[in-house]
Amino acid sequence: MWAWPSFKALRGTTKFIYVVGNEAENDVRVKMIDSILEALNGLLSGELSTLVWLLVIIGIIYLFYKLSSRLIKSAILRMGGTEGDVKMILGLWRFTIIFLTLLGILSSFFQMGAISTIIGAFGGMFLGWALQQPVSGFTAWLMITVKRPFRVGDRVQLPSYGLVGDVIDTGPMYTILNQVGGAVGSEEPVGRHILIPNSMLFSNLVINYTPKKNGEEEIEESPMLRKARRSAYILDEVVVRMTYDSDWEEAEKILINAAREVTRDIIKATGQEPYIRSDFYDYGVYMRLRYMTLATDRPRIKYEIGKRIFKEFRKNKKVDFAIPFVYSAKKVVEATKIAPLTKPATKKSD
């Protein structure tokens, strides 16, 4: 191990500096500087030397962590993993490196027997009392990282709390969601982050809107389909109220064509065609258009389908929207077109 210069080597230099001058004064100065150098020599050869070596070791460990992280990321991506998988695995790897480094530093200052005694004396008390929730959260994080019931980027729902959100990050204590809905009426991310304690995941139901499907083939498709393959498909519907005097076949044709135009790529990926279900009500028929959609893009797709249906209904005279308490919208327009009143004919006086 490299050592700092010894006190004896530096003492000769001080005597050479003060060779000229009053001999008594030089002796006092030399003794003073000797005492200072002796103290510095002890410091440099002891605590400071240990600190320097400690910093060097930490630097080597940091370089090893950066290099190994790149190798792990490359391996995960080659095996078909996503950026979300990389982030979760590297989080676990970072924690492992930090834990082993701290354990090595403590073992260099203390004997392993002393460390074991300390852990045995206080570990049980902390785990049973102060660390009950953190340990539960950490265990849940390990379960999420290994089993991966959901990943970063998935859309999940916690029915017990009325929460829906997209997973942004999973940590040892919390899972962070970007809330969906809440501030707005549709299922769109609002940019409000929610911290869910991992310990809650052991005792609450979690619904994953976007589970991973194993065995999917990688097909070169349009951007819409590539996005679909990273998400999950769910069943959605658009409800249209139609009058009883509307042409049923014409209305069904309009609804099916609108869904096919908007969800063409999804139909190609899933093989699921849109279909119609209906209910009868006092003032009309509920035509329920059901189709497969993307869980993360549901509001936009529903808007596009509804827009096309509205335009086609306005142009087609065979179908009409039903309005509560009024037979139809077109009947109201026709009823307002009243012929101008004419004055009654008066009899001519004789």
Confidence class for position 326, pLDDT limits 50, 70, 90: low
Residue 323's pLDDT is 80
Token pair in block for residue 66 = 């950066």
Token pair in block for residue 99 = 């834990």
CA distance 289 to 305: 10
Cβ atoms within 10 A of the Cβ of 246, count?
22
Distance of CA 321 to the CA centre of its chain: 41
* Report for 50-54, 82-86, 322-326: range of highest mean pLDDT: 82-86
Q: Which of 66-75, 170-179, 218-227, 287-296 has the lowest mean pLDDT?
A: 218-227
- Buried b / exposed e over 27-55, threshold 16 CB at 10 Å, is eebeeebeeebeeebeebeeeeeeeeeee
Residue 100's pLDDT is 86
Token pair in block for residue 78 = 């080659």
CA distance 49 to 2: 9
Which stretches of the chain are DSSP H helices? 7-17, 23-45, 47-78, 83-109, 112-128, 132-147, 223-230, 248-262, 264-270, 298-315, 329-336
CA distance 163 to 63: 41
Query: Could you tell me the domains of the chain?
Result: 7-45 (no CATH), 148-208 (2.30.30.60), 223-334 (3.30.70.100)
Residue 257's pLDDT is 95
- Specify whether the backbone of 152 is left (phi greater than 0), alpha (psi in -120 to 50) or beta: beta
- Specify whether the backbone of 284 is left (phi greater than 0), alpha (psi in -120 to 50) or beta: left
User: Once rounded to an integer, what is the mean pLDDT over residues 260-288?
Assistant: 90
Cβ atoms within 10 A of the Cβ of 78, count?
8
Strand partners, 234: 293
CA distance 178 to 246: 44
Residue 218's pLDDT is 41
Which amino acid is it at 173?
A: M
Q: Characterize the bridge pairing of strands 163-170 and 155-158.
A: antiparallel
The pLDDT tens digits for 141-166 are: 888 888 888 888 888 889 888 888 88
